[in-house]
Amino acid sequence: MVDMPPVVELDTNMGAIVIELNEEKAPKTVENFLNYVKSGHYDGTIFHRIIDGFMIQGGGMDADMNEKATNKPVE
């Protein structure tokens, strides 16, 4: 039986975004991200940078633009 990759669903005011994580290629990054998810770190955060047709960036600030504390960087 093949293990399915972890999947995270971001619930936004514009709908859900489903993210499939690649543990094989980035095990430390996946573990770090899932630890943030499980801790509730992203609850109440916003997308603070949006470049149409390219990317969105979020999770580091709340709705009042207060920066959230982070864990140590992934090595």
pLDDT tens-place string over residues 5-23: 999 999 999 999 999 999 9
pLDDT of 74 above 80: yes
**pLDDT reported for residue 3:** 82
Domain residue limits, the chain: 7-62
**pLDDT reported for residue 2:** 62
**Could you report the per-residue pLDDT of 22-72, keeping only the tens digit for each?**
999 999 999 999 999 999 999 999 999 999 999 999 999 999 999 999 999
Task: Name the burial class of residue 74, with classes exposed (0-12), middle (13-18) and buried (19+) by CB atoms within 10 angstroms of its CB.
Answer: exposed
